[in-house]
Amino acid sequence: MSQDQASKKDPDTQPISLNNPDFYINREISHLKFNQRVLLQALDYGHPLLERLKFLLIFSSNLDEFFEIRVSGLFSRIDLEQERAGLDGLPPEEVLHKISEMCHPLVEQQYKILNEQLIPEMQKENIHFVRRGDWSDAQKDWVKTFFKENIIPVSSPIGLDPAHPFPLLVNKSLNFIVSLEGKDAFGRETGLAIVPAPRSLDRVIRIPDELCEGGDNFVFLSSMIHAHVDSLFPGMTVKGCYQFRITRNADLDVDMEGVADLALALRGELASRRFGRAIRLEVADDCPDALIDILLEKTKLDRSNLYQVNGPVNLKRLMRIPSLVNRPDLSYPSFTPGIPKGLRDRKSMFTSIAKKDYLLMHPFESFTPVIDLIRQAAVDPDVLAIKQTLYRTGDNSPIVHALLEAARNGKEVTAVVELRARFDEEENLALAAELQAAGVVVVYGVVGYKTHSKMILIVRREGKKLRRYVHLGTGNYHVGTSRLYTDYSLLTADEDICADVHKVFQQLTGMGKIERIKRVLNAPFTLKAGLIELIEQEITAANAGNKARIIMKANGLTEPDIIHALYRASQHGVSIDLIIRGMCCLRPGIPGVSENIRVKSIVGRFLEHTRTYYFANAQPSIYCGSADLMERNLNRRVEVCFPIQSSSLANRVLYDLEAYLEDKSQSWVLGSDGEYTPQTKRDLDDGVQNRLLQSLKN
């Protein structure tokens, strides 16, 4: 009997409970494994030097958000005595312990990579971070003048005494704890002060070229403050100055029950994000224990939440470096995105889309046709109405400008603005106000459900009839990220899909019962059930002796019902390939449960953002969507998952999926032990990689 035959038979003869915690990977641990894979890109010599620096800084930014949202959530569960474990069986206390065990070596390796590899390699390329001990006399004079003219006027040092208790410091702000000796003008002798670094100043400042011997030369703001902190405390002696940073709970907690005005409630909550509960303390590694103990006491944290770092505590601010140096040879080569032949004549997007569907894959294909569609709709006298969801748009968005123009031209324009797009809430509040001022009807979706779907609906008069045109995407209406993320855009005039999108907008802006939708799967109503039904079709095909196969590509897989369905499919012999970039709670390769499932993660130049689902026995067989396979997306968000009905376009997407599966340059394979193994080491520094991988076992 073959393995596949055995796996088909086992569910009937030897049923296995799929609720065994050993069958699941903790989502927080899986999230950290993803961040580990991002960090390891900084060691991959297949990437240009400045891109390797970016990966290191992306890791830092990801880790910040992980603490602000995920770790703070675990703290809250413990505070509220919500100790119930997840599918993996780990209670919050144990998860926090494992996070601490993993994060400390990760952070240590991050700074080793920066100090021992990236900075020396940048020096070889004549990009220098000039340390205080290496300043020339002329540079010292310039720093002193800069400090006097730019830092002192906006600095507010805080001496600690009964009248000046430990300040409530802004989330992730750069600060210094200073030990002092002597008495001040009022005779106070407290011995301690806090110096918040001015938030208005860059953390990395370019030294004037005439003061250097060539190349690009930078100095850290923290170095300037260290060098001249004594001038902030005249007449006193500075005994020590050490940088630190506090990470706080940044998850907004808006009570949705009884909210009369979501925008007003969100504005009130945004202010508290900067001063939430302390979650993590980062300090310079040379800071004395006595001062560390004071900081821990004031933040109500223990040593497991302490990270002592050998370098700047706010590494994300180094992200400006690539734009401050003119070194295209140290970055990815630029390329020009293509445009399908039928969309190159941009006189009438409507004529082109009316003839056939178009599927664009960004950034390899340009986002320009999507912008052209909305721009033409704004000025076309035959266009009567435009409806669009907006989650993230970016600054100076051409999409937003087109909506504003459409409203001024008398079109019926409706924008569903998601105010709770994480860390873009403030921008979206301003966006909503701008749209309303121009006459756009702005709604905020449905309270309790984030509107994460990416939809444009255009209604146009053509002769005596009204015709609808639709854009559906897997990414955001953000021109910048369309050049950085891989995403699909579908442009269609298909009557059924357009009618479905119209009904989804009706659900968002109006009230009423669930309407029957023909082609599109939408959360929170039909998407999860629809995906499970498609998985069950493959099980039926396998049981009938037919070839059965599933390919799913998403950013995360954590939803229990989807995982159970995939386990059942594997037990019945369905061949399953999962391309999951980030979190994956499914454990592949378990005998009798998931031996027919393979999981890989791709981390490379572009953020692999497409959500694509293939079912060999379905018609249509390909779906793309805005939703990941996670609880929040399938149960608590408004999402759309749309079929690719054109056989040529579906074959193209399947070809893309197969290319991902064949990739061995940027791929990591998930084992049944929960560990990821690179399919090839390329030019990775094996010594550092092996140390890092070894330190993160278990």
Reported as a single tens digit per residue, the pLDDT across 335-354 is 889 999 889 876 789 999 99
Q: Which of 311-324 are b and which e, b meaning 16 or more Cβ less than 10 Å from the residue's Cβ?
A: bbbbbbbbbebbee
pTM of the model: 0.89
User: Given a cut of 60, is residue 690 above it in pLDDT?
Assistant: no
Q: Stretch 566-573: mean pLDDT, rounded?
A: 98
Dmax over CA atoms of the chain, in Å, equals: 90
DSSP helix/strand/coil, 625: strand
Distance CA 170, CA 235 (A): 29
Q: Provide, rounded to the nearest whole percent, the portion of the chain with pLDDT above 70.
A: 89
**Assigned token pair, 7:** 């796996």
Strand partners, 134: none
The reported pLDDT for the residue numbered 687 is 43
SS3 content of the chain, % helix, strand, coil (to 5): 40, 20, 35
DSSP 18-53: TT-GGGB--HHHHHHHHHHHHHHGGG-TTS-HHHHH
Reported as a single tens digit per residue, the pLDDT across 500-536 is 999 999 998 887 677 789 999 999 999 999 999 999 9
The gap from C-alpha 31 to its chain's centroid, in whole angstroms, comes to 11
Say how many CA atoms lie within 13 Å of 559 toward its Cβ.
23
pLDDT top residue among 679 and 154: 154
DSSP helix/strand/coil, 192: strand
pLDDT top residue among 374 and 515: 374
Residues of the chain with CATH 3.30.1840.10: 135-326
Contact assessment for residue 40 and residue 586, using Cβ atoms and an 8 Å cutoff: no
* Rg of the chain, C-alpha, whole Å: 28
Q: Stretch 548-572: mean pLDDT, rounded?
A: 97
Contact assessment for residue 309 and residue 284, using Cβ atoms and an 8 Å cutoff: yes
pLDDT top residue among 430 and 465: 465
Q: Stretch 569-576: mean pLDDT, rounded?
A: 98
Contact assessment for residue 66 and residue 31, using Cβ atoms and an 8 Å cutoff: yes
At 601, the amino acid letter reads: S
341-516 is a CATH 3.40.630.30 domain: no
User: So which residues are the catalytic ones?
Assistant: 452
How far, CA to CA in Å, does 35 sit from each of 105, 112, 188, 522? 13, 16, 47, 30
Burial label for 487, CB within 10 Å (0-12, 13-18, 19+), is buried
The domain 135-326 is classified under which CATH number: 3.30.1840.10, 3.30.365.10, 3.30.420.40, 3.40.50.2000? 3.30.1840.10
Contact assessment for residue 551 and residue 629, using Cβ atoms and an 8 Å cutoff: no
User: Given a cut of 90, is residue 14 above it in pLDDT?
Assistant: no
Contact assessment for residue 606 and residue 58, using Cβ atoms and an 8 Å cutoff: no
The reported pLDDT for the residue numbered 420 is 64
Q: Which of 81-120 are b and which e, b meaning 16 or more Cβ less than 10 Å from the residue's Cβ?
A: eeeeebbbebbbeebbeebbebbeebbbbbbebbeebbee
The reported pLDDT for the residue numbered 424 is 59
* Count of C-beta atoms within a 10 Å radius of residue 215: 13
Q: Stretch 179-203: mean pLDDT, rounded?
A: 84
* Count of C-beta atoms within a 10 Å radius of residue 227: 17
The reported pLDDT for the residue numbered 381 is 96
* 236-245, 297-306, 429-438, 594-603: the lowest-pLDDT one: 429-438
Q: Mean pLDDT of all residues in the chain?
A: 89
In which residue are the tokens 């690719």 written?
644
User: Given a cut of 80, is residue 421 above it in pLDDT?
Assistant: no
The reported pLDDT for the residue numbered 639 is 94
Angle at 693 (CA atoms; ends 687, 698), nearest 5 degrees: 150
Reported as a single tens digit per residue, the pLDDT across 44-89 is 998 999 999 999 999 999 999 999 989 998 988 888 777 677 889 9
- If pLDDT is split at 50, 70 and 90, which confidence band does 185 have? low
Contact assessment for residue 412 and residue 386, using Cβ atoms and an 8 Å cutoff: yes
**Assigned token pair, 244:** 């630190």
Distance CA 341, CA 276 (A): 52
The reported pLDDT for the residue numbered 272 is 55
The domain 3-24+523-695 is classified under which CATH number: 3.30.870.10, 3.40.50.2300, 3.40.50.300, 3.40.50.1360? 3.30.870.10
Distance CA 445, CA 415 (A): 9
Residues of the chain with CATH 3.30.870.10: 3-24+523-695, 341-516
Separate counts of helices (H) and strands (E) for the chain: 21, 27
The reported pLDDT for the residue numbered 273 is 52
Nearest to 34 by CA among 580, 558, 582, 586: 582
DSSP 553-613: EES-B--HHHHHHHHHHHHTT-EEEEEESS-B-B-TT-TTTTTTEEEEEE-SSSEE--EEE
Which helix or strand (DSSP H or E) is residue 218 part of? strand 216-220
In which residue are the tokens 């082109």 written?
352
How far, CA to CA in Å, does 67 sit from each of 79, 276, 444, 581, 619? 16, 12, 28, 20, 43
Which helix or strand (DSSP H or E) is residue 441 part of? strand 441-443
- If pLDDT is split at 50, 70 and 90, which confidence band does 235 have? confident
Contact assessment for residue 197 and residue 205, using Cβ atoms and an 8 Å cutoff: no
- If pLDDT is split at 50, 70 and 90, which confidence band does 546 have? very high
Q: Provide, rounded to the nearest whole percent, the portion of the chain with pLDDT above 90.
A: 71
The gap from C-alpha 658 to its chain's centroid, in whole angstroms, comes to 25
DSSP state at residue 679: S
- If pLDDT is split at 50, 70 and 90, which confidence band does 334 have? confident
* 269-278, 366-375, 522-531, 544-553: the lowest-pLDDT one: 269-278
Q: Stretch 85-111: mean pLDDT, rounded?
A: 93
User: Given a cut of 50, is residue 145 above it in pLDDT?
Assistant: yes
Q: What are phi and psi of 72, to 5 degrees?
A: -65, -35
Q: Stretch 601-618: mean pLDDT, rounded?
A: 91
The reported pLDDT for the residue numbered 696 is 39
* Count of C-beta atoms within a 10 Å radius of residue 356: 14
Say how many CA atoms lie within 13 Å of 622 toward its Cβ.
23
Angle at 42 (CA atoms; ends 37, 45), nearest 5 degrees: 115
Distance CA 613, CA 602 (A): 16
The reported pLDDT for the residue numbered 691 is 42
Contact assessment for residue 18 and residue 587, using Cβ atoms and an 8 Å cutoff: no
Reported as a single tens digit per residue, the pLDDT across 465-491 is 999 999 999 988 888 888 888 999 999
